[in-house]
Amino acid sequence: MDSKQQQYFDKLTSIQENLTKETVEYWKVYSDFSTWQFWFILIMLVGPLILLFFTIDRKMIFRIGFFGFSVHILFAYIESFGIRYGFWGYPYQVLPFLPSFSLDASVIPIVSMLVYQWTINHNKSFFLYSVITAIIFGFGFKPLLVSINLFQKDDWVNYFLIFLLYLILFQLAYLMTKLFLVLHKKGENNQ
């Protein structure tokens, strides 16, 4: 790395450090333990985890868990992209350095895991029920979060786009899970 590149990289690192410090300061002033929003978001994080503990089909826990982890990772990437580019944001957080943690790590993956589990156990179309889930999240849940100021979006980011993102990411997670199941079965057959 030449000196010009190093200076530019150091500048970016410094900006990132300052942004992190400002984000933590914002959290302390507007989003800490003293706000109802903090506790609401904490419940959105912990509540679904408790529900999952009692409802997950333990015979298929790795399959369902892999699907949920895939949903989590895909949504974390999309959320990170949208937040970084300023398309949307979360004014209140449980942790200042993970702005959409409750949604990405709990609500969205766990609801989708339970839908996935239900479609497997009842031999139903995952696609159909993922469309219904995406409609509920895109046209119900996100507008609710906007109405109580837990989610803010640019004007051009409409609820149909949010619905499409949910649907696409649910399908990608489903396809990733299917692929790994096929690879797992091939591996078992080769032993």
| pLDDT tens readout for residues 96-130 | 877 777 777 899 999 999 999 999 999 999 999 99
| pLDDT tens readout for residues 8-30 | 999 999 999 999 999 999 999 99
Residue 104's pLDDT is 77
| pLDDT tens readout for residues 60-89 | 999 999 999 999 999 999 998 999 999 999
Mean pLDDT on 31-56: 93
Does the pLDDT of residue 32 top 80, yes or no?
yes
Other beta carbons within 10 Å of 53: 9
Mean pLDDT of the chain: 93
Contact 101, 38 (CB under 8 A): no
Other beta carbons within 10 Å of 162: 21
- Between vectors from CA 89 to CA 165 and to CA 31, what angle results, nearest 5°? 135
Residue 96's pLDDT is 82
Which residue, 129, 139, 142, 141, is CA-closest to 170? 129
Contact 18, 79 (CB under 8 A): no
- As to burial, measured by CB atoms within 10 angstroms (0-12 exposed, 13-18 middle, 19+ buried), residue 118 is middle
Residue 188's pLDDT is 83
Does the pLDDT of residue 179 top 80, yes or no?
yes
